[in-house]
Amino acid sequence: MDFALSEEQTILQDTVREYLRQHCTLESVRLNVQDSITLDADIARGLLDLGLPGIVVPEEFGGAGLGYLDAALVAEALGEAIAPIPFLGPNVVAPYALQSAGSDQQQADWLPKIASGNAVFGIAFSASSSSRSDGSTSVDSGQINGEHTFVIDANDATQFLMASGDSEIYLVDANDVELTLLRTIDRTRSVAQITMNGTPCELLPGSSSNGALRRSIAVGRIMLAADSLGAAQSMLDKSVAYAKERKQFNRVIGSFQAVKHMCAEMAAELEPCKSLIWYAAHSVLAIPEETVVVACHAKAHLSEVAQFVARKSTEVHGGMGFTDLLGLHYWFKRIGLNRQLLGSPDEVREEAAQAQDW
């Protein structure tokens, strides 16, 4: 029994953190956010050097062959730094879906390209994960028609995986769809609407029967939850640091019980979330029969806790938290977007109940 990160995992996460600390500063995020959201090419190249695009791609296909806990640790670090980088879609959910449901040929075609950063997959699962989207599609003789909204990591995508019907996953080329960017409160993650009009598509054959779509969504939810964990942890850390520095009434504000207790409440809520994410991510390969339920809980619980932290952290920062000066709101908004993607908390909780036959 060893419920802890391995030394390699700690090193992996610290390496990504250190890289982002140097290259993904608040200033660089601000620059990114001013224009339309696009993959920051410099940061992306650095992450490619770290091997992140192929993190869960098997070594035989040129990847790192790591697991989903490793991927969650990276997602957490990206959330901490609010990195404007697609990761969840192209580097975690897509290789998971391809390995779960793709044909041998599809895996051989795409997994190496994912690992080398030459294929970037956007994920159009929203219609199956969140009943709020109106988008629907139909497939006829290898062509797909219809639209998807809230497509994740859309802007720089070269390919899309998309849900159709109840459980099937199709692969389409990004050149064959019409893409309209959606502008959300968050500007660090690209989200779009895509329209298909007789667009050629290719089924991932395993998905017709093996529940790969549902499990792929679960993996995506775990990554979003890990991202929110990281973002919320950053906000808590900033709050504690600010509370130790900022003085009012000749005392650092952290010595006031009201401020101290807000920090303590944030920590008390957030700390157990780390273990919840670890367990959920670990379960993907080790205890797959538990993944769907735990992923629902990870997503829903982190949505609530991170929202709580985002608010309290802003309060601890007082007026400064409300301005752009400290940039705290970038974290606030990323947490706000994560909350709704791939299913809002109450929808996801209902799925957890159903998955347990309760």
Site residues for other proteins, 123-152, by CB under 8 A, read 126, 130-133, 149-150
Q: What is the largest CA-CA distance in the chain?
A: 74
Sites for other proteins among residues 179-208 (CB under 8 A): 180, 182-186, 191, 193
Q: Which of 198, 200, 272, 288 binds other proteins (CB under 8 A)?
A: 272
Q: Which is nearer to a second copy, 246 or 329 (CB)?
A: 246
Does 45 contact other proteins by CB under 8 A?
no
Does 26 contact other proteins by CB under 8 A?
no
The site partner of 200 among other proteins, a second copy, none (C-beta below 5 to 8 Å per kind) is none
Q: Which stretch binds other proteins (CB under 8 A): 14-22, 171-179, 198-206, 321-329?
A: 321-329
189 with 150: CB under 8 angstroms?
Answer: no
Least distance from other proteins to the Cβ atom of residue 127, Å: 11
Tokens 């897509």 sit at which residue? 94
For 64-87, the DSSP string reads ----HHHHHHHHHHHHHTT-----
Q: Which of 219, 297, 306, 309 binds other proteins (CB under 8 A)?
A: 297
Considering only CA atoms, give the Rg of the chain: 20
Nearest Cα to Cα of residue 45 among 116, 126, 111: 116
H/E run at residue 106 = helix 104-116
Contact track, a second copy, 243-282, x by CB under 8 A: -------------xxx--x---------------------
Q: Which of 109, 173, 176, 304 binds other proteins (CB under 8 A)?
A: 304
Q: Which stretch binds other proteins (CB under 8 A): 51-59, 157-165, 210-218, 341-349?
A: 341-349
Q: Which is nearer to a second copy, 132 or 261 (CB)?
A: 261
199 with 163: CB under 8 angstroms?
Answer: no
Least distance from other proteins to the Cβ atom of residue 29, Å: 14
100 with 216: CB under 8 angstroms?
Answer: yes
Does 251 contact other proteins by CB under 8 A?
yes
- The Cα 358–Cα 355 span in angstroms is 8
How many other β-carbons are positioned within 10 Å of the β-carbon of residue 139?
A: 18
Sites for other proteins among residues 85-114 (CB under 8 A): none
Question: Is residue 331 helix, strand or coil?
Answer: helix
- The residues near 58 (Cβ < 8 Å, ≥ 6 apart) are 65, 99, 111
Least distance from a second copy to the Cβ atom of residue 258, Å: 5
Contact track, other proteins, 211-250, x by CB under 8 A: -----------------------------x--xx--xxxx
Does 294 contact other proteins by CB under 8 A?
yes
- The Cα 78–Cα 13 span in angstroms is 10
Positive/negative CA dihedral, 296, 297, 298, 303: positive
State the residues that interact with a second copy by CB under 8 A. 256-258, 261
